Structure 1
Amino acid sequence: MARITYIEHGGTEHHVDVPNGLSVMDGAKRFTIPGIDGDCGGACACATCHVYVDPMWRDRLPPIEELEEAMLDFAFDVTADSRLSCQIKVDDSVDGLIVRTPARQY
């Protein structure tokens, strides 16, 4: 299990223990975190689970894969810290991860 901090665009923080094996998006949906829609259910096909990974975590996560990078073209306000939360798998290595939701999802 990993403690993930989800920070809404307006600044509200949610500290959630997400079970290993889920994705960061699954954790947000399970605990009804606003701002992460996940319309495709985690198939990396919609970009509605776009988040900003805290810069201190950017290089600690597995690198972005080609499909995820292509799907980010459909997200608003993409930055170097942008990831699709459906593609970040939860395990002990992401304990303490901080993600922020964008102002809007597509």
Structure 2
Amino acid sequence: MINLTFVEFNGEEHRVSVQQGSSLMQAAIENFVPGIDADCGGSCACGTCHVKLDQAWLSKVETPSESESLMLEMTPEHDECSRLACQITVQADMDGMIVKLPEFQM
């Protein structure tokens, strides 16, 4: 199992354990983490699973696709650490990753 910590905008932490191969979005939804709406169900079509990764973890995930980058540009709080949780597949080297949630989803 891979251990992740989702941190809400207010600082509340949610520690979850997930199987390798699931998406960050699935990990949040299946563990009832508030703040991930996932309106499109993970098809990179809405931007409601926007998360922010610490710089240290960015090298552990693939770079965003063009469609993900376009979705992220529409989110009001995006920055260089922004990603869509539906587009990140949990891998073993992500154990201990901290995933921050923005104040609002679009």
TM-score range, shorter chain: over 0.9
Deviations 1:50-98 (A, max 9, x none): 0000121012211111111011122121111000000010121211111
User: What residue in structure 2 maps to residue 101 of structure 1?
Assistant: 101
Which stretch shifts more, 89-98 or 29-38? 89-98
Once the two structures are superposed, the pairs formed by residues 79-90 of structure 1 within 5 Å of their partners are 79-90=79-90
User: What residue in structure 1 maps to residue 7 of structure 2?
Assistant: 7
| Corresponding letter in the other structure for 2:26 | D
Contact 1:47/1:75 (<8 A) preserved:
yes
Which stretch shifts more, 58-67 or 19-28? 58-67
Structure 2 unaligned regions, length at least 5? none
- The answer to whether structure 1 residue 34 and structure 2 residue 8 are counterparts is no
User: What residue in structure 2 maps to residue 77 of structure 1?
Assistant: 77
Tell me the number of residue pairs that the alignment of Structure 1 and Structure 2 aligns. 106
Segments of 4+ moved more than 2 angstroms: none
Contact 1:46/1:74 (<8 A) preserved:
no
| Corresponding letter in the other structure for 1:89 | T
How many Å separate the matches in 2 of 1:20 and 1:60?
14
How many Å separate the matches in 1 of 2:25 and 2:74?
17
Which stretch shifts more, 61-70 or 23-32? 61-70
User: What residue in structure 2 maps to residue 18 of structure 1?
Assistant: 18
TM-score, structure 2 normalization: 0.95
TM-score, structure 1 normalization: 0.95
